Each structure stands twice: as structure tokens, then as C-alpha cells.
Amino acid sequence: MRTRPSFQRYFIDEDKYQELKSFEVKPKDIIISCSGVNLGKLAEVPTGSPKGIINQALLKITLNNNIMQNQLFIDIFQSPNFKSAFYGDFRGAAIPNFPPMTTFKSFKFIVPPIQIQKDYIQIKEKINNLKAMHQKILDKKLFESLQQRAFNGEL
């Protein structure tokens, strides 16, 4: 499940914006927390988001979606096997940090053909929809059961 970003509002003038333009994020960019307790947490900037500048504790990734789909990258990046291989063991570290960019850029990501990525994403969406429908059915049955017990004076 992806985390929805929560935005803090800070305003800068045009000169400062131009100075920090390389830190601008756009819809569909992926931002990753690079240090501390939130290390490795990521979010995709939603479509329709206003212009924004990220701070130095975040990494912005703009994928070429003809090569790697955002959803697949996010799923790989969040998998326990990837985290273990990429971050290693941080026990005993005071404040864990994102590995150097040279390490990140040299990491061998799995990049299946684009059609396989799209098929994976469609199947995942279908599974998530089925899970949501199943949960609604369970919730309805639970409510009906509680309602029946309440009417029978069993609660």
C-alpha cells in the first residue's frame, strides 16, 4: 500500500525557486526519504499536484516509463529482499542513511520488458480490487451479524 504524501506549505520567492529548481518535483515523480526513521519510505507525487521543491533529505526519481513503470519500481523498492540487499544491516547505526548515489546508480534493478510490467500492474490492480470487494462483503456480514445479535438482545 502506498503512502499518501502530506504536504507542508512553505513559500519561496521566484529567485529562490530558480536557485532550487533542480529540486523541483512534478506529478509522477517518486520521492524517497534518505535518512532517519523514515529511510526508504517513498511516495509518488499525485497527478494534479502543484509545483513543489523538496528538501535535501529526499531523493527525487523521474523514471522513463517506456523502460520502467513507476508501480513496478515502487514494488521492487519496497520489497524486503531489495531493502536487505540495498540497505544492508543498520543495527547499531545511530542514524541510518541512504547509500551514496554511486551505489544507487550502480544497483542492478530488475527491468522486465515493458509489456510484462504492464501485465503485472494490471494483475495487481485486479487482485487489489478483489481484496477490496472481499473486505466489503466481510464487513457487511459482520455488521449484519452484530445487528441481528443486537435485535435479539445478545449484546
Pair 9, 51 in one domain: yes
Pair 105, 36 in one domain: yes
The reported pTM is: 0.72
Phi, psi for 129 (deg, rounded to 5): -65, -40
Which structural domain range is residue 143 located in?
112-155
Residues 93 and 114 sit within 8 Å (Cβ to Cβ): no
86 has a pLDDT exceeding 70 = yes
122 confidence band (pLDDT: 50, 70, 90): very high
Pair 106, 143 in one domain: no
Among 77, 92, 110, which residue terminates a domain? 110
Read off the C-alpha cell for 108.
542492478
Pair 75, 117 in one domain: no
Please state the domain count of the chain. Answer: 2
Based on C-alpha coordinates, what's the Rg of the chain? 21
Q: Mean pLDDT for the chain?
A: 85
Higher pLDDT, 72 or 106: 72
Pair 27, 88 in one domain: yes
**Per-residue pLDDT averaged across 81-109, rounded?**
73
9 has a pLDDT exceeding 70 = no
Pair 3, 75 in one domain: yes
Q: Which of 99, 74, 103 is CA-nearest to residue 87? A: 99
Phi, psi for 100 (deg, rounded to 5): -55, 155
pLDDT digits (tens, 9 = 90+) for 34-55: 877 788 889 999 999 887 888 8
Task: Please give the pLDDT value at position 67.
Answer: 95
- 104: domain CATH number is 3.90.220.20
